[in-house]
Structure 1
């Protein structure tokens, strides 16, 4: 019976690994006569082993991404003594001092001879002196969205200023309606003086538009996707020369992902070195990270379990039939164009294709399969999940040391940052970056920024869930599921990997080879 059950599971996996949406069901299984049961089982066990081996090989070759506040309070591991260590990144971990069965999970990826490299060409450096001294032309940019989107837009604002040879006025942070954020100045989130000093050889940064230019604001038209430096210059430079000032909005993901090498490296310089958080955010995040580290290495999770994410992806949260029905109704009422990717696919088809976010049960099962010890400290950040504390129960059951920013902080410690979701997101970002292992339940601007930053900082372990393999292997028993997950993720834990699919991936998410090179001297990230 067990063999027959396993054969059905593996057959289902093989049928659904590359999903066919024809709606046809598989043929019924044949049951052998009793008098030949033992020989059949022996032969079938060999056949089963071959099928499993073939399946493991196929999922091991699945390409990675670069290639193609909750009401629940968990037990805090806070240390009440003052924290003196405020390093942003986790110290080197000696896995030999860990229990034998935990070493493989905490082992960091081999970065080889890859190091961050931000050396600029002679041509770029020759042009820098005039651009860095620019006093006639000024670019103003309004950035919006949550922290990940803000960082992306600020990076591209600096690059556009460089392309135009203009000075950049500190970007304006628009109130974040999604996060119900109060409006914030650039200096409320980022270290202004560090930003200016780091980029002083690349672009002149000023705090405000000079009074002589206040009456000459020119608003630019819509920027198309994949805008090139040539398009930017031809479209905006005449206006900039005429008016002396240019105001841009809505630049998220508009600038081409594939720029000349110097501009790609400028992107990395802004993202990983210039955009340092304000001192109060850095200090708060570092204190929380030190508390997490007090009892050993820890895991950081960015969970996307909020209602809007389930609706946007067209997926069901899997909490209960009631919760799933609520989301399904909201999906039907939502305009079709508001649902991302493959509009004609059902929830089941989306899940098999790896398009759905992982829920808390999926995250817990994957971490367990990859060898994460139940005793590990686990820090999670993200919006309040749909379903409240119930949505997180599978994760809390498996990892009792699951905690949040709110549970980890001392009374009143977060008060100065409240009502500013970008500031709280920045604290999460700091704790994520300092973790020994990071994983996101769904792709997005925060997940991509963290993946790239951890790669630039020395290829720190970042698990990239192979959601197609997880969905296909879901029916298997835990032991076989674990074997498949370890093989499916052996090349998805933060190793150096070249940025491919160059029209789709941002260099700040996949910095190899433009910003992380083989055999070069290191350029430290903050």
Structure 2
């Protein structure tokens, strides 16, 4: 493997399986090997003119074998038995039929092939975007249209110096980094990404990260419950060494935990602060990494961030299975929108905002905030009305409904609601359902018992939302956050799927103006969002942006070939 790391092409196959000799034979010659009698084979090859019937027979047999081989990988599911490819209730008809479904199904299955694991098949790939036709208005057609990727494709070409250093760093057995990741799924993902980068900076082996018990949701899941540990190790084996646990030689009765890490720390700060301690003790335990590492790193480390986020952090097989199943149920009926609605109680408490559901629920939020003021993350010196107009509050269901309608979505659009249980339950969603009745959640989409293993497993449920949202034709978050940023970058990375970031600060004053007609309001909203619908936006326009949310230009470039 040491030699492989010095090859200029960064997309190196890990443990490639050798191709059988007949892979290189012409189709007709392969058939003759299989079907021609041995005693006649030589004379047939040298003396007889070509047998056209045998040639066509060989082609038929070869395509038959190819079809059988493909069918072996397609899961036979009752999901598609009751669904037609074109739903009469869908806003448009598919311009593609069974071919994209076959392609998408194969792409999801190929990513599980452990014999030929490459960057190109390790990424979570969404089902294909729908081509929409039918009797649609211009606004509706524009709404479903996918953005122009401008030729940007994934390109993770690490430098020669990086690959040379990998030969040594990936074999490290003396220094070990232990990281405790906290928060929800996407907050944990951010910390795991930074953990890998810090391990690389410190030239240490990384112990599979520890997921701290989530105090808000009571989720006690371990890393292996959410992510594929074997896959995580294999994808990163050329970058750092990942181990499941500390070796016995490094176990201590007591171990100090470093928690005082300032924001925006550089690789130089990391090395000066921790390298000596790590050399002396052999173990470093870090906690509270949340977005502390600088967003502006050298190109190789930025590429490593993308490699971890989009390739190494694959969800565990059971989570992938149910997520893909629900995604297919949404996809097979036609194009759909995924909304990440931030309507949970803890979100309202943390942001210092009110729900819009009336005094009963306002008092619940106010009392909770007064009881635990440390949860408030917003500025204390402004009122909740000022917070809302400043764009610091999540959009409630009524505001989301007005936004989606103004953007051009037809009333018949199918919507997948991602997120936790909203404060107020069905009442909180009622304004959105009244405008868009074809709204479903994972609980509504799942069949009896399918989600039972994930009760009280908030991270696994969030991972299922992530998978279904990734395959949506349009994704809209109601309030930024870690899920919104992760989905923005991932959708860009796998083909620039439409992502609409609500321009709350500019848009909300128009929500309050009752003198504006619906037609004029729609025109204003579409104009406000015309440049924020998934087109490549370079991270370098604002240096404080996370490369995982803005993979251009460090992880994506204009190139004729890419990972996919």
User: Taking structure 2 as the reference length, what is the TM-score of the superposition?
Assistant: 0.75
Q: 8 Å contact 1:168–1:203 — kept in the other structure? A: yes
Q: How much does 1:246 deviate?
A: 1.4
Quickly say closer, same or farther: Cα 1:379–1:406, change in 2 above 3 A.
same
Quickly say closer, same or farther: Cα 1:329–1:421, change in 2 above 3 A.
closer
Q: How much does 1:185 deviate?
A: 2.3
Of the three residues 178, 188, 192, the one matched with 2:229 is: 192
Quickly say closer, same or farther: Cα 1:327–1:415, change in 2 above 3 A.
closer
Look up the match of 2:341. 303
Are residues 1:366 and 2:406 paired? no
Look up the match of 1:116. 154
Q: 8 Å contact 1:439–1:463 — kept in the other structure? A: yes
Query: C-alpha distance in 2, partners of 1:396/1:405?
Result: 15
Look up the match of 2:477. 440
Query: C-alpha distance in 1, partners of 2:319/2:417?
Result: 17
Q: How much does 1:500 deviate?
A: 4.5
Of the three residues 509, 529, 539, the one matched with 1:499 is: 539
Are residues 1:523 and 2:563 paired? yes
Query: C-alpha distance in 2, partners of 1:114/1:162?
Result: 27
1:257-282 CA distance string (max 9 Å, x none): 11111101100100011100011111
Quickly say closer, same or farther: Cα 1:125–1:98, change in 2 above 3 A.
farther
Q: How much does 1:517 deviate?
A: 1.8
Query: C-alpha distance in 2, partners of 1:80/1:229?
Result: 54
Quickly say closer, same or farther: Cα 1:326–1:206, change in 2 above 3 A.
closer
Q: 8 Å contact 2:129–2:335 — kept in the other structure? A: no
Quickly say closer, same or farther: Cα 1:98–1:203, change in 2 above 3 A.
farther
Query: C-alpha distance in 2, partners of 1:386/1:80?
Result: 36
Of the three residues 335, 345, 353, the one matched with 2:382 is: 345
Of the three residues 406, 413, 416, the one matched with 2:453 is: 416
Query: C-alpha distance in 1, partners of 2:492/2:366?
Result: 37
Of the three residues 290, 313, 320, the one matched with 2:358 is: 320
SS of 1:235's equivalent? helix
Query: C-alpha distance in 2, partners of 1:98/1:259?
Result: 49
- Which range is displaced more, 214-223 or 108-117? 214-223
Are residues 1:95 and 2:132 paired? yes
SS of 2:443's equivalent? helix
Of the three residues 505, 513, 517, the one matched with 1:468 is: 505
Structure 1: 5+ residue stretches without partners? 1-77
Look up the match of 1:267. 305
Q: 8 Å contact 2:343–2:396 — kept in the other structure? A: yes
Corresponding pairs, count: 445
Q: How much does 1:459 deviate?
A: 1.1
Look up the match of 1:166. 204
Quickly say closer, same or farther: Cα 1:500–1:320, change in 2 above 3 A.
farther
Query: C-alpha distance in 2, partners of 1:477/1:331?
Result: 38
Query: C-alpha distance in 2, partners of 1:220/1:319?
Result: 42
Q: How much does 1:334 deviate?
A: 5.6
Q: 8 Å contact 2:193–2:305 — kept in the other structure? A: yes
Quickly say closer, same or farther: Cα 1:221–1:369, change in 2 above 3 A.
closer
Structure 2: 5+ residue stretches without partners? 1-78, 84-100, 109-124
Q: How much does 1:242 deviate?
A: 1.0
Look up the match of 2:3. none
Query: C-alpha distance in 1, partners of 2:256/2:282?
Result: 8
Quickly say closer, same or farther: Cα 1:398–1:129, change in 2 above 3 A.
same
Q: How much does 1:466 deviate?
A: 0.8
Larger relative contact order (Cα-Cα within 8 Å, sequence gap ≥ 6): 1
Look up the match of 1:250. 288
Of the three residues 193, 200, 212, the one matched with 1:155 is: 193
Q: 8 Å contact 1:117–1:520 — kept in the other structure? A: no
Look up the match of 2:525. 485
Look up the match of 1:229. 267
1:416-454 CA distance string (max 9 Å, x none): 222211111111110011111101110111111111111
Q: How much does 1:308 deviate?
A: 2.2
Of the three residues 291, 294, 317, the one matched with 2:329 is: 291
Query: C-alpha distance in 1, partners of 2:155/2:365?
Result: 46
Q: How much does 1:99 deviate?
A: 3.3
Q: How much does 1:345 deviate?
A: 1.9
Q: 8 Å contact 1:220–1:236 — kept in the other structure? A: no
Quickly say closer, same or farther: Cα 1:282–1:469, change in 2 above 3 A.
same
Are residues 1:398 and 2:431 paired? no
Query: C-alpha distance in 1, partners of 2:135/2:238?
Result: 45
Are residues 1:140 and 2:178 paired? yes
What is the aligned-residue RMSD (CA, Å)? 2.1
Q: 8 Å contact 1:90–1:436 — kept in the other structure? A: no
Quickly say closer, same or farther: Cα 1:81–1:281, change in 2 above 3 A.
farther
1:461-496 CA distance string (max 9 Å, x none): 011001123212112221111000010000111110
Are residues 1:212 and 2:252 paired? no
Q: 8 Å contact 1:370–1:486 — kept in the other structure? A: yes
Q: How much does 1:389 deviate?
A: 0.9
